[in-house]
Chain A
Amino acid sequence: MNFRQVFLVLKREFMTRAKSKAFIISTLLIPFGFVAYLALIIGIQFWESQPERQIALVDQSGVLAERIIQLNEERYIDLSAEEIESVREDVMNHNLDGYIVLGEEHILGETRPELIYSGSISITLISGIRSDLREAIREERLARAEVTREVREIFESTVSLESRKLTVTGEEEEDHAEFYSIVGMLLGVVIFTALFMYGSIIMRGVIEEKSNRIIEVIASSIKPIELLTGKILGITALAVTQFVIWTGLIVAISMAAAPIAALIAGDAATAGAAEMEGIDMAGFEIPAIPLSILVAFFFFFVLGYFLYSALFAAIGSAVDSESDTQMLMMPVFIPIFIGFMLNFEVIQNPDSVLSVIGSLIPFTSPINMVSRIAIGTVPAWQLIVSVLLLLLTILGTMMLSARIYRVGILQYGSKAGFKDLARWFRQK
């Protein structure tokens, strides 16, 4: 292989695309879109927590309303003095969101209280009300049973679980298992998408050279394997450039957006309220993702891309137009998709047999291994086996594809099937 030729192809593939308007626009706009999307999600949760629903309590026992209102003064209003009919009317007119009639029978547990509401009501609100009722009734019953202070304390105590991860070196680490599961899933999705996105770019490039009829001019100057390698490396360089810019821009935009977001969020009180709702204001920033995960991401993405792009190029060489690719795409689409589906298992059980297998098999490992690395610790031997298998398979697919490619690029007219590809592969 002549590396000057490979480099010339690489340079052309990279430059013609990097200079195109579509590339520049997508490179610059996608991070803004991404941050806007994040902000929207956080914003929705944030704003949703603002208007508290008004639930009227019509208390016939005379003891529950007070206890419930203590739990959430904004949500509940004691309308025990009013006629039920007028409360009902208020709910119908949306002056109130709902009402609950409470009585002695509820304290004794004979019947269940009912929430009558109008409009729409969220599951979160219902479960909130349920736990408020449960707590108030329980307290009332405890009070009536005249249990000791000790027993009462037992009931009041809440148990929370904190998790800390023990590292190989025996240190305990602050654990963010949930956060890293999300990161793992996200990176898996990104690689899944990117394999297709950049795979299609290379496939379209090959089809373009065929349909432009320039391929024979090129083939009379350079070996097919050099052309193929140059194309793959060129698009890889393009992809890495795009990802580096995206990562940088997302971090930069997020950092710039954080103070603005804090401003929007307003005073400390509302910020505190938001935090109570389980929204971390720091969520406006991208939390620190360890460099090792980023490195693993780029490493496995590039290897995965080498693996699949050669196949995409072979498919491109076998057809005259993009619309003919569907059937030939199946063997490429299926393993990538399996990797994507397996990733749900990887997120749940990163160390299960299925997850380990997925992260070792070369066709799924670029997706599954990255997610596993993001979530937990992967034994060194598995990493090594995974990478070795991947490298070997890359060699295999490159050779397979190059043999199909070198024949395919000169074929016009007839629609090629798998039999044709097999014949081309064997051709001298």
Chain B
Amino acid sequence: MPVIDVNNVSKSFGSTHAVRNVSFQTEMGRIFGLLGPNGAGKTTMLRMINYIISPDQGTIRINDTPVGSNTQRWIGYLPEERGLYKKMKVGEQLLYLAQLKGLSEKDSRERIRYWLDRFGAIDWVTKEVGELSKGMSQKIQFIATIVHDPDIYIFDEPFSGLDPINSELLKEVILELRSQGKAILFSTHRMEQVEQMCDDICLFNNGRAVLTGNLREIKQSHGENTVILEFQGNSDFLDRLENVRINNRSTNFAEIRILEGTTPRQILQQAMDQAEVQRFQMVEPSLTEIFITTVGEDNINPKELV
């Protein structure tokens, strides 16, 4: 049974169709990645799942219950626009947020203590959030998200604005939650994060879910149609290649998608004519490549895919 079941959901703001006929499901013990460029409708989708705004059409069910005040308690949500009360003490603030999620005062205190301890933040309990450094308050924000020990975790662009240490910490926490069998849904516009962590994905573009499914299966279905090339020397030959799309290029590296009308052999030949080839490998396409293939080159702004 799916944990989050989004069925044919649409949402408009005035004349803007933020989300159009989107359906997908997430399961326990898996990480689900919602990805797509900025403005694709990801945040609107997550807000609807969190019962912050209501869909115009379609249904969203969590554990077979229509979203509502009850389902909010089963979710730990880290919004993209996040923050804390600056003038409130760390301990009081976490207590307030945990109680709003339905925890008793006693349970809240225990859990707050556990997580503060684990993140090495127990000394901050009586500090006001305004006094904390950015990294410190990010940690407090994580704790606020997970303190009520929900079964479902939703993170909206969780890594944006995080310092490297906290990025690593959050990744660790997310993977740990998966191993505990929790359901995790996060959105991002950074494809490599999805490739590293996600089991399932849903690709968003212009409010539509253009590709949904198991990440490994999706990649396999595209076949090994991409060349990873590492070389020393002149890279001019890359510009002369025909019927290819070069996605990731640096002075001595290129990720080349082979299109109709050319073969790996031709590429290797041209490379060897001009440069010293150090690595030549056929691989499955990257997610960026899959995304471009799916929505078509003309339909996206490449700058939005980093």
A residues neighboring B (CB under 8 Å): 2, 5, 8-9, 12, 16, 20, 208-209, 212-214, 216-223, 407, 410, 412, 423, 427-428
Which chain B residues border A9 with CB–CB below 8 Å?
100
Residues of A within 8 A of B87 (CB): 16, 20
The answer on a CB contact under 8 Å between B54 and A221 is no
Instruction: Contact check, A220 vs B99: say whether CB atoms are below 8 A apart.
Output: no
A220 close to B77 (CB less than 8 A): yes
Distance in angstroms between the alpha carbons of A221 and B100 in the assembled complex: 6
CA distance A389 to B170 in the complex (A): 54
Q: If A2-B69, A217-B82, A220-B52 touch, does A12 touch B47 (CB 8 Å cutoff)?
A: no
* A212–B13 alpha-carbon span in the complex (Å): 24
Q: Contacts A16-B87, A212-B85, A213-B83 hold; do A219 and B97 have CB atoms under 8 A apart? A: no
The verdict on B305 contacting chain A, using a C-beta distance below 8 Å, is: no
CB distance from A424 to the nearest CB of B (A): 10
Whether the pair A213, B81 counts as a contact (CB closer than 8 A) is yes
Contact count A vs B, C-beta below 8 Å: 68
Q: List 23 A-B contacts (CB under 8 A).
A: A5-B100, A8-B96, A9-B100, A16-B85, A16-B87, A209-B85, A213-B83, A214-B84, A216-B47, A216-B77, A216-B81, A217-B79, A217-B83, A217-B84, A217-B145, A219-B50, A220-B50, A221-B73, A221-B97, A222-B72, A222-B100, A410-B47, A410-B52
CB of B72 within 8 A of CB of A220, answer yes
Give B96-147 interface residues, CB cut-off 8 Å to A: 96-97, 99-101, 144-145
Question: Distance in Å from the Cβ of B91 to the closest Cβ of chain A?
Answer: 13
- Contacting residues, chain B, for A8 (C-beta < 8 A): 96, 99-100
Contacts of A221 in B (CB 8 A): 72-73, 97, 100-101
Interface positions, chain B 42-88, Cβ under 8 Å from A, are 47, 50-54, 56, 69, 72-73, 75, 77, 79, 81-88
**Complex interface: chain A residues within 8 A of B261 (CB):** none
Contact of A216 with B99 at beta-carbon distance under 8 Å, contacts A16-B88, A223-B69, A423-B14 already known: no
Give, as a whole number of angstroms, the nearest-CB distance from A119 to chain B: 56
Contacts of A212 in B (CB 8 A): 83-86
Chain A nearest CB: distance from B152 CB in Å? 12
How far apart are A154's CB and chain B's nearest CB, in angstroms?
75
B94 → A minimal CB distance (Å)? 11
A216 with B82, Cβ < 8 A, contacts A16-B88, A221-B72, A410-B53 known = yes
| A216 surroundings in chain B (CB, below 8 A) | 47, 52, 77, 79, 81-82
Q: Given the known A-B contacts A220-B50, A220-B72, are A412 and B81 also in contact in the complex, defined by CB atoms under 8 Å? A: yes
Given A16-B87, A222-B100, A410-B52, 16 other A-B residues pairs in contact with their CB atoms under 8 A: A8-B99, A8-B100, A9-B100, A20-B87, A208-B85, A212-B85, A213-B79, A213-B81, A213-B83, A217-B97, A220-B72, A221-B97, A410-B47, A412-B81, A427-B13, A428-B54
- Greatest chain B CB density within 10 A among A221, A412, A428 is at A221
Q: Which residues of A contact B83 (CB under 8 A)?
A: 212-214, 217
Q: Kindly state the separation between the CA atoms of A71 and B222 in the bound complex, as whole angstroms.
A: 116
Nearest to A17 among chain B residues (CB) is B87
Q: Which residues of B contact A12 (CB under 8 A)?
A: 96
Minimum CB–CB distance from A202 to chain B (whole Å) comes to 15
A69 to B199, CA, bound (A): 108
- Neighbouring B residues of A412 by C-beta, 8 Å: 81
- Please state if A218 and B100 are interface contacts (CB–CB under 8 Å): yes
A205 to B206, CA, bound (A): 35
What's the nearest-Cβ distance from chain A to residue B139, in Å? 15
- The answer to whether B56 and A217 touch across the interface, beta carbons within 8 angstroms, is no
Taking a contact as CB atoms closer than 8 A, the residue among A209, A220, A410 that contacts B75 in the complex is A220
Residue from A214, A218, A423, A427 whose CB has the most chain B CB atoms within 10 Å: A214
Interface centre among A2, A16, A20, A220 (most CB of B within 10 A): A220
Nearest CB on B from A2, distance (A): 6
Nearest CB of chain B from residue A264's CB, rounded to whole Å: 44
Residue on B nearest A420 in the bound complex, by CB:
B14
Task: Give Cα A428 to B48, complex, Å.
Answer: 12
Nearest-Cβ distance from residue B88 to partner chain A, whole angstroms = 6
**B14 CB contacts on chain A under 8 angstroms:** 423
Nearest-CB distance from B41 to chain A (Å)?
15
Name the residue of chain A whose CB is nearest to the CB of B156. A216
Chain A min CB distance to B251 (Å) = 40
Bound CA span A8–B92, Å: 12
Known contacts A5-B100, A410-B47, A410-B53; A214/B72 CB under 8 A: no
Report chain A residues within 8 Å CB of B85: 16, 208-209, 212, 214
Cα separation A20 to B54 with both chains bound (whole Å): 37
Of all chain A residues, the one with the shortest Cβ separation from B13 is A427
**Could you say which of A2, A20, A220, A223 contacts B79, with CB atoms under 8 Å apart?**
A220
CA distance A5 to B69 in the complex (A): 11
Minimum C-beta distance from B143 to chain A (A): 12
Tell me, in angstroms, the Cα distance from A12 to B99 when the chains sit together: 11
Kindly state the separation between the CA atoms of A216 and B44 in the bound complex, as whole angstroms: 12
Closest chain A residue, CB of each to CB of B80? A216
A219 & B52 in contact (Cβ 8 Å cutoff):
yes
Compute how far the CA of A216 lies from the CA of B51 in the bound complex, rounded to whole angstroms: 11
Minimum distance in angstroms from B68 CB to a CB of chain A: 9
Nearest B residue (CB) for A409:
B52
A427 to B79 alpha-carbon distance, docked (Å) = 22
Complexed CA–CA distance, A223 and B82 (Å): 18
Chain A nearest CB, measured from B50 CB (Å): 4
- Distance (whole angstroms) from the CB of A23 to the closest CB of chain B: 12
**Alpha-carbon gap, A16 to B96, bound state (A):** 12
> Cβ of A20: which chain B residues have Cβ within 8 Å of it?
87
> Considering residues B85, B87, B88, which has the most beta carbons from chain A within 10 angstroms of its beta carbon?
B85
Chain A residues with Cβ below 8 Å from B100 are 5, 8-9, 218, 221-222
Specify which chain A residues have a CB less than 8 angstroms from the CB of B47 in the assembled complex.
Answer: 216, 410
Bound Cα distance A216, B81 (Å): 7
Task: Report chain A residues within 8 Å CB of B99.
Answer: 8
Q: How many Å lie between the Cα of A5 and that of B75 in the bound state?
A: 17
User: Which residues of A sit under 8 angstroms from B84, Cβ to Cβ?
Assistant: 212, 214, 217
- A217 contacts B88, CB within 8 Å? no
Contact with A along B193-221 (1 / 0, CB 8 A): 00000000000000000000000000000
